[in-house]
């Protein structure tokens, strides 16, 4: 166990988790449990940046928690909780709202995508979302953040916020005994899952996403064998046979995506997979892919359904995680209050 290093990551409870979440982030989260102190959050405060029906939100928080556990997160080893139970997130986010600059947030591509054409109608929370994400990480002074490729820009912003806070409050930080003026660490992105960018099954140029209106575009962790087989069968392809070299995937986004998924779920490299299936027609390959996905995903879905049968137990896990999270964040927040110049009793 490497000491002082601490892992933080989170997912939004805005629907069922999918293969992109699993291969892009979760597999790495599970791996890091072996070497690090890990804190994994269900980010419900992030979810409400766009409208969520309260009954569905409650259900989704429990379902994402169940998916974490079913995928292999151990709530005894790691801290597993929902964000709104720990006040430090919202509190530090406010301070960061006053550290981050409008110009920084104006560059965030995810806001532009999510807000769409009618930017005036987006919530203020959606705009300030990356500040809350920085607060999630830094409330624990976490050093490593395993995420998919799409979160890279948000993590760069978190690093800028940590650095500006350290600079702005340098004197105050040094007065507290941090000789080097380093209060917040620069959190490092860990973008090394087996497939850091899984694309939609309907369009190899768009990322697989919970918010895509087409269910056919993604494989949910709760899909049964039949649903998985159907989605793979209908997945978009091109008319050519599969290439026998990786470079033959250039300009063939759907082929690249399906082979990438196959490599990730079977734990092999793209090269190894191309060597196995190169020259095959998509129809033959799709059968292999769907069998591999069924073997990997269906047991997780079964476990999610079993865990969802006992909501009280899930709530107990979240309550226990929240109290362990508060025990780490509260003393850090006391120091933040002193550094900023607030009076506390």
In this chain, which of 150, 212, 224, 313 binds ligand AMP, going by CB under 6 A? 150
- Does 336 sit near ligand TRP (CB under 6 A)? no
Min dist CB 165 to ligand AMP, Å, is 24
In this chain, which of 48, 139, 142, 198 binds ligand AMP, going by CB under 6 A? 198
**Using CB atoms within 10 A of its CB, is residue 224 exposed (0-12), middle (13-18) or buried (19+)?**
middle
Return the closest-CA partner of residue 64 out of 88, 83, 92.
Answer: 83
Q: Which one, 71 or 151, has the nearer CB to ligand AMP? A: 151
How far from the centroid of its chain's Cα atoms is residue 303's Cα?
20
- Does 43 sit near ligand TRP (CB under 6 A)? yes
User: Which region holds residue 251: left if phi is over 0, alpha if psi is between -120 and 50, else beta?
Assistant: left
Min dist CB 221 to ligand TRP, Å, is 16
In the list ligand TRP, ligand AMP, none, the entry touching 6 (Cβ below 5 to 8 angstroms by class) is: none
Q: How many CB atoms lie within 10 A of CB 269?
A: 12
- What SS3 class is residue 191? coil
Min dist CB 28 to ligand AMP, Å, is 9
In this chain, which of 58, 114, 170, 197 binds ligand AMP, going by CB under 6 A? 197
Q: DSSP for 99-167?
A: TS-HHHHHT-HHHHHHH-S-GGGS-HHHHHHHHHHHHHHHTTT--EEE--GGGHHHHHHHHHHHHHHHH
- Does 136 sit near ligand TRP (CB under 6 A)? yes
Min dist CB 149 to ligand TRP, Å, is 11
In the list ligand AMP, ligand TRP, none, the entry touching 145 (Cβ below 5 to 8 angstroms by class) is: ligand TRP
Neighbouring C-alpha atoms within 13 Å toward the C-beta of 242: 25
Query: Which residues are 157's β-sheet partners?
Result: none
Choices 99-107, 147-155, 168-176, 275-283 (CB under 6 A): range interacting with ligand TRP: 147-155
DSSP-derived secondary structure letter, 18: B
Q: What binding mask, one character per residue, do residues 104-133 give for ligand TRP by CB under 6 A, x or -?
A: -----------------------------x
Residue pair 7/77 in contact (Cβ under 8 Å)? The answer is no
**Using CB atoms within 10 A of its CB, is residue 226 exposed (0-12), middle (13-18) or buried (19+)?**
exposed
In the list ligand TRP, ligand AMP, none, the entry touching 136 (Cβ below 5 to 8 angstroms by class) is: ligand TRP
- Does 256 sit near ligand TRP (CB under 6 A)? no
Residue pair 96/340 in contact (Cβ under 8 Å)? The answer is no
Choices 171-179, 205-213, 290-298, 301-309 (CB under 6 A): range interacting with ligand AMP: 205-213
Query: Which residues are 207's β-sheet partners?
Result: 199
- Does 52 sit near ligand AMP (CB under 6 A)? no
| Site size with ligand TRP, rule: CB under 6 A | 14
In this chain, which of 36, 89, 159, 207 binds ligand AMP, going by CB under 6 A? 207
- Does 47 sit near ligand TRP (CB under 6 A)? no
Active site residues: 114, 207, 210
- What SS3 class is residue 239? coil
Chain residues that interact with ligand TRP, rule: CB under 6 A: 8-12, 43, 46, 133, 136-137, 145, 147, 151, 154
Chain residues that interact with ligand AMP, rule: CB under 6 A: 11-12, 20-21, 24-25, 147-148, 150-151, 196-198, 207-210
């Amino acid at each position: 166990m490497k000491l002082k290093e601490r892992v933080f990551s989170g997912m939004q409870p805005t629907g069922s988790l999918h293969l992109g979440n699993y291969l892009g982030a979760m597999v790495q989260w599970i791996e890091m449990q072996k070497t690090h102190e890990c804190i994994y959050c269900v980010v419900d405060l992030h979810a409400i940046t766009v409208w969520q029906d309260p009954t569905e939100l409650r259900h989704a928080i429990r379902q994402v928690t169940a998916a974490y556990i079913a995928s292999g997160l151990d709530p005894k080893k790691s801290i597993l909780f929902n964000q709104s139970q720990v006040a430090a997130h919202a509190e530090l986010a406010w301070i960061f709202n006053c550290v981050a600059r409008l110009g920084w947030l104006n560059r965030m591509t995810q806001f532009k995508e999510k807000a769409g054409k009618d930017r005036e109608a987006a919530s203020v929370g959606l705009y300030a979302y990356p500040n809350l994400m920085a607060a999630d990480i830094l409330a624990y002074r976490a050093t490593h953040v395993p995420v998919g490729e799409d979160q890279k820009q948000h993590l760069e912003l978190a690093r800028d916020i940590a650095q500006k806070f350290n600079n702005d409050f340098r004197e105050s930080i040094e007065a507290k005994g941090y000789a080097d003026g380093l209060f917040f660490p620069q959190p490092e992105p860990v973008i090394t899952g087996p497939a850091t960018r899984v694309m939609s099954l309907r369009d190899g140029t768009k990322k697989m996403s919970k918010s895509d209106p087409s269910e056919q575009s993604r494989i949910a962790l709760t899909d049964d064998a039949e649903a998985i087989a159907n989605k793979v069968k209908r997945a978009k392809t091109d008319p050519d046979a599969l290439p026998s070299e990786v470079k033959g995937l250039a300009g063939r986004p759907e082929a690249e995506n399906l082979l990438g998924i196959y490599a990730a779920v079977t734990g092999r490299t793209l090269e190894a997979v191309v060597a196995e299936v190169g020259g095959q027609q998509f129809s033959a390959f799709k059968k292999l892919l769907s069998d591999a996905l069924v073997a990997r995903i269906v047991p997780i879905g079964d476990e999610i359904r079993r865990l969802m049968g006992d909501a009280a137990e899930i709530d107990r896990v979240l309550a226990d995680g929240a109290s362990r999270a508060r025990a780490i964040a509260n003393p850090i927040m006391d120091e933040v209050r002193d550094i900023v110049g607030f009076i506390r009793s």
